[in-house]
Copies of this chain bind each other. A is one copy, B any other.
Amino acid sequence: MSESLPTDSVGIVTPQTLHFDTPISLACNRTLDQYSLVYETYGTLNAQASNAVLICHALSGHHHAAGFHSSGDRKPGWWDSCIGPGKPIDTNRFFVVSANNLGGCHGSTGPGSNNPETGKPYGPDFPVITVRDWVKSQALLADRLGIQCWSAVVGGSLGGMQALQWSLDYPDRIRHAAVIASTPRLSAQNIAFNEVARQAITSDPEFYDGHYYQHHTLPRRGLMLARMVGHITYLSDASMGEKFGRELRDQAYKFAFDAEFQVESYLRYQGERFSETFDANTYLLMTKALDYFDPAHEYDNDLAKALRKARCEFLVLSFSTDWRFTPARSEELVSAMISARKRVSYAEIDAPWGHDGFLIPTPRYNAVFRAYMDRVAREVGA
């Protein structure tokens, strides 16, 4: 039935899993003795293994970035707009790898996985993971896939942080880093919103200090609240206004506490759906990874100093109405790259959707991204 899929789709894709049994030491000074990573690939690795692109996902993302899991699948992967034949990350030219991060809840080893030492889910005993740990595990994945050097590591938001970290930790294994709708570190306000999300989850009585698996329950309300807060920060005030305004679900005010405005029922629905499909402990881990990310920290808070060891070229993109990671945050990063004498291309994309802009195709976003990736492809002979 793949005939019915869009012609610019990578088509039906099948996730794969690799198991690692060499212990990996983590930034928190703990070790995972063994773990699995689930990933998808799109396109074909060329003979020189020079055309590989790594996609890094954001807070609630996963390995399924493009294509469909079956012919009946109604929704493609989360970045299908950018990955596929003829798309900015052109799968006719690139071999694309997209893995679920360690600590995730979509197949890679995470808090919901069984801890081999106890035979029970890790839960809150899963180590706190950092962006650097993810990059390390992705490098081990690259080894197994025979990829010595990525033509590009690409990501939006928390994914952009991974792309940036790649440039610092494996300067010889990455030619280009695309850091999209991201920031070199969270602001106090960003951390504050994450803390609200964490408090919502951990104060849910169904959370059981993270051991909810054994109690056969889920901290649904807490995760729902966390997602609602997050969702607001992903959208712009204007796009929420455009989408919902002050539209009522019914004609008149009800003077009660049901969802009355469209935006309320939308948020509740999104929150509820998310709370049934995402793992609360993973959510906690992801927010912590965001908070901790700060490559300048160990370089006297001098980002340019941190960037000196990078050898790749950079693409930085920001979105005009993104108030979570504003264009100013990308410009900080770009300034530091310039100070560190790195080659960097920067564009602020004019788009109304706030932080979510990086997921939504627009002509200029598409054109800029495509032009950059075309140059990457030509460089590596793809």
Task: Give chain A's interface residues, CB within 8 Å of chain B.
Answer: 27-30, 124, 127-128, 185-189, 191-193, 195-196, 198-200, 202-203, 205, 221, 224-225, 228-229, 232, 235, 237, 240-241, 243-246, 253, 255-257, 259-261, 263-264, 267-268, 271, 284, 288, 291-292, 294, 323
Establish whether residues A27 and B255, one from each chain, have CB atoms under 8 Å apart when the complex forms: yes
Smallest CB-CB separation from A124: which chain B residue? B257
Q: List 23 A-B contacts (CB under 8 A).
A: A28-B255, A29-B255, A187-B237, A187-B241, A188-B237, A188-B240, A188-B243, A189-B232, A189-B240, A191-B246, A192-B264, A193-B232, A195-B264, A196-B228, A196-B267, A199-B225, A199-B228, A202-B257, A203-B225, A246-B294, A255-B288, A257-B284, A261-B291
Could you tell me the dominant secondary structure of chain A's interface residues?
helix
Establish whether residues B257 and A188, one from each chain, have CB atoms under 8 Å apart when the complex forms: no
Residues on the B chain within 8 Å of A187, using CB: 237, 240-241
Query: Besides the contacts A186-B246, A203-B221, A203-B224, what 13 more A-B pairs have beta carbons closer than 8 Å?
Result: A27-B255, A28-B255, A128-B255, A128-B256, A185-B246, A187-B237, A191-B264, A192-B232, A195-B267, A196-B229, A196-B267, A199-B228, A205-B205
Residues on the B chain within 8 Å of A246, using CB: 185-186, 188, 191, 294
Residues on the B chain within 8 Å of A29, using CB: 255
Residues on the B chain within 8 Å of A221, using CB: 199, 203
Instruction: State in angstroms the CA–CA spacing of A38 and B76 once bound together.
Output: 59
Residues on the B chain within 8 Å of A202, using CB: 257
Establish whether residues A225 and B200, one from each chain, have CB atoms under 8 Å apart when the complex forms: yes
Instruction: State in angstroms the CA–CA spacing of A288 and B284 once bound together.
Output: 31
Instruction: State in angstroms the CA–CA spacing of A229 and B288 once bound together.
Output: 18
Establish whether residues A244 and B188, one from each chain, have CB atoms under 8 Å apart when the complex forms: yes
Instruction: State in angstroms the CA–CA spacing of A342 and B224 once bound together.
Output: 46
Establish whether residues A224 and B199, one from each chain, have CB atoms under 8 Å apart when the complex forms: yes
Instruction: State in angstroms the CA–CA spacing of A198 and B192 once bound together.
Output: 19
